[in-house]
Structure 1
């Protein structure tokens, strides 16, 4: 069981990277808003059927609670900006910035949940943000304004993760999946209202959207299963494999060529995140051993 957690996490990260690849490819033909709406509608339909087959009610009373409303808002903002980012910027660059999400979550846990962080973790968080700046390089010719969308998307996902921690445990992962994909539909409709629907998808884009839905549902399911088996401290670090898969797909499919600074910044972010996870788990073990 200990080994299945990291394996499932790695599989889910690979699937998420493939999902991004299909969406990015489809958005070369159709608008971002239409792609998001279609993808969200497809994924929501799958989880709605799943919920009904399991006899779960579709509208849980907790959906109107503050944590769920914050989660939904963060999901919309995160998905909207993240999708804009990898539609306009290299997939490898956007995925590298996304890896800073755990660092922002750690910072948010201090601010909103009162968690105690020592100077080592503060240093690791600071270095992680330095890694983001290494990739962005503001004020230089290498800076791309579209990469700001990746930062905003990353902040949205961090807010979603923090709100999820405060979500009522009575909600199942299938129900959260329904609401999560519903937020994608809403994000897509917001984009359509601003930019217009654009052209309808042709055969190629339709197939890519369908594959993105199938892969996205499998990715979400694998991620949920990964967090339920084995030890969290062993499983969570394998989230960073998503960057590797995104880099490979970006280079192989879209002909991207990340420069040395992007590789270096990515390494700093991943190392900082892994150390933050290590220190948090070590601190939890120390508290557990402390005599009462």
Structure 2
């Protein structure tokens, strides 16, 4: 049985990770109002990759020899990370922070769905029901066919598809592959892609305030990655994983404080459905794994 103290530590690490990710998104949304997205991401990527490389080196995560299968999975995961970054952050520049964050929280539902359809993992009627209700919540946010519909909502949903591919690829990696090394490769892939994009688009001059936001973003995303690696090693997943939805609280608060954004009631209802069904899916999946 897992030590309750370990569960509390895992919950705190998960909440810290979600806070860091959402603060990073806030910095990026603020700075991309005046700077090109590609330029911002290549600078953030250089900072984050340097910090991740140092940490991976200190932990001996750079000396592992990968099999051909694992190399392919790492490459697939990195490509999916590039796609997720492009679509998610493009949507973030055009949509309220809470809306984009809420759509990304459908991830436990899409991962469960994809694992059932692609890998044939068994999913009972309870989780199928949760997935269906969660997608109703997604429709409340996207509002297809109405005046409130935004094309960038589809960008956010495409980002969810890429993140789902990324996470499924990570699940199939061998256990001996260090998480930090995988994260570093993905960070480098994003940096190289956006570096090429920034070179083609040209470089814009930056103010001290913009540089400060980019530096903060690089530090925050590095801390978020580190905390997300640590949280997978502490506590019971059924207890710890639901705390990922504290990111929604941060998104609501920061969107209101930084950008004067507040979701309409239907969006809040959709986010609530997504959070509730996502937490149930995480809990149910963990319970099924324990039984097996």
TM-score where L is the length of structure 1: 0.92
Are the equivalent residues in 2 in contact too, given 1:78–1:152 (CA < 8 A)?
A: yes
| Separation (CA, whole Å) in 1 of partners of 2:265 and 2:167 | 31
Residues 26 and 254 in structure 2, CA contact (< 8 A), matched pair in contact too: yes
Equivalent residue for 1:290? none
Asked whether 1:179 is paired with 2:195, we answer no
Q: Distance in 2 between matches of 1:193 and 1:103?
A: 37
Kindly indicate whether the alpha-carbon contact (under 8 Å) linking 2:237 and 2:286 is maintained by their aligned counterparts in 1.
Answer: no
What's the CA shift for 1:25? 1.0
State the 1:57 CA deviation: 2.8
Aligned to 1:169, what secondary structure does the other structure show? coil
Alignment match, 1:281:
286
Aligned CA distance change for structure 1 residues 190 and 135 (closer, same or farther; 3 Å): farther
Residue 40 (structure 1) aligned with residue 45 (structure 2):
yes
List alignment gaps of at least 5 residues for structure 1.
288-292
- 1:198 CA drift (Å): 4.6
Would you identify which runs of 4 or more consecutive aligned residues in structure 1 move more than 6 Å? none
Q: For residues 59 and 36 of structure 1, do their structure 2 counterparts lie closer, same or farther at Cα, with a shift above 3 Å needed?
A: farther
Which of 203, 209, 229 is the aligned partner of 2:208? Answer: 203
RMSD: 1.8
Q: What do the CA deviations read for 1:246-285 (whole angstroms, capped 9, x no partner)?
A: 1110011111121001100001111111111222222223
Q: Does 1:16 align with 2:21?
A: yes
Q: Which residue of 2 aligns with 1:127?
A: 133
**Aligned residue among 148, 156, 160 for 1:142:** 148
Q: CA distance change for structure 1 residues 60 and 193 in 2, over 3 Å: closer, same or farther?
A: farther
Distance 1:152 1:165 in 2: 20
Per the TM alignment, residue 70 of structure 1 is displaced from its structure 2 partner at its CA by 1.4
2:101 matches 1:95 = yes
TM-score, normalization by structure 2: 0.92
8 Å CA contact 1:30–1:198 kept in 2: the answer is no
Q: 2:165 aligns with which of 159, 164, 167?
A: 159
Please list the CA deviations of residues 221-243 of structure 1 after superposition, one character each: whole Å capped at 9, or x if unmatched: 11111111111111111111111
Secondary structure at 1:61 match in 2: coil
Q: What CA deviation, in whole Å up to 9, does each residue of 1:67-109 have, x standing for no partner? A: 1121111111111101111112111110010000111000111
Q: What are structure 2's unaligned runs of at least 5 residues?
A: 1-5
Quick check: 1:79–1:184 contact (8 Å CA) kept in 2? Answer: yes
Is 1:51–1:175's contact at 8 Å kept on the other side of the alignment?
Answer: yes
Give the 3-state SS of the residue equivalent to 1:230 in structure 2: coil
Write out aligned runs for 1:60-71 (5 A): 60-62=65-67, 65-71=71-77
Aligned partner of residue 3 in structure 1, secondary structure: helix
Displacement, 1:191? 4.2
